[in-house]
Structure 1
Amino acid sequence: MQNTQIVVLGASNKAHRYSYKAIKMLLEYGHHVLPVHPKIENIEGLVVKHHLSQILSPVDTLTLYIGPKRISPLIDDIVKLNPSRVILNPGTESDELELALLHHEIPFVKDCTLLMLEHGRF
């Protein structure tokens, strides 16, 4: 899935955060990355979107880096985004989101984006 559009929800500009590491690795693997964070302006030279509703083009993968409490108010926006798949990274699992994704027939996996990339499963 090279050159695919990947949205990183819960993006961070802090090098120790997994979402930051994911952005770096996705870029290294040739993907088009759209980071989403409500306050950050730029990460690794990428313009950060502040809301999922700002993304108007098709999304191949939405990879989540926010906890279940923060996911809950974003479920409608995630469904409207209609990504081809959602990756629920460790710590982001949400029964409420999973039910919504199943209801709207949006595929999801419970996995780690970094390990998926590293092991050729992305």
Structure 2
Amino acid sequence: MSSEKVIILGASDCVDRYSYKAMKMLEDHGHETILVHPKLSEIEGRKVFSSLSELKGKYDTLTVYVNSKISSQLKDEILKLDVGRVIFNPGTENDFLESELTKNNISTERACTLVLLSTDQF
């Protein structure tokens, strides 16, 4: 299993949220998590970036935990990322953004990050 750099858009410090569970499960599987939330500065000692525009470098995956209205507003920031794929978790589907990503040769997947990790398909 190779380790990936995974951006969690919509990271949460609430243990009941799927983005929090994804952070824990990704780290349990040896992946590096990069957390993004506009109002949090840290989650359990991990730095949280307030926006995608702060991120520099290459990332393997962006996993989305925000609704389509928010992700559409972030389209330009997402397209500027050097990211290999974008996972739209259940409830975050965004036809417009998926189309824009595909046009820019960024692969998209409608899937649950937790399920992908649990079934070794991540």
TM-score by length of 2: 0.96
Residue 48 (structure 2) aligns with? 48
In structure 2, the CA distance between the partners of 1:44 and 1:3, relative to structure 1 (3 Å rule), is farther
Once residues 50 and 2 of structure 1 are traced to their aligned partners in structure 2, the CA distance between those partners, rounded to angstroms, is 28
AA matched with 2:91: G
Aligned to 2:74: 74
Richer in strand (by share): 2
Opposite residue 67 of structure 1, the aligned amino acid is N
For residue 99 of structure 1, what is the amino acid of its counterpart? S
For 2:38 and 2:3, locate their aligned partners in 1 and report how far apart those are by CA, in whole Å.
25
Counterpart of 2:117 in structure 1 is 117
Counterpart amino acid of residue 112 in structure 1: C
3-state DSSP of counterpart to 1:25: helix
Distance 1:8 1:2 in 2: 18
Structure 1 counterpart SS, 2:59 = coil
SS at match of 2:83: coil
- Give runs of ≥4 in structure 1 deviating > 3 Å: none
What is the CA distance between 1:82 and its match in structure 2?
3.1
Unaligned runs of 5+ in 2: none
Match of 1:100 in 2: 100
CA–CA distance in 2 between the matches of 1:99 and 1:21?
28
2: CA distance, partners of 1:44 / 1:7: 16
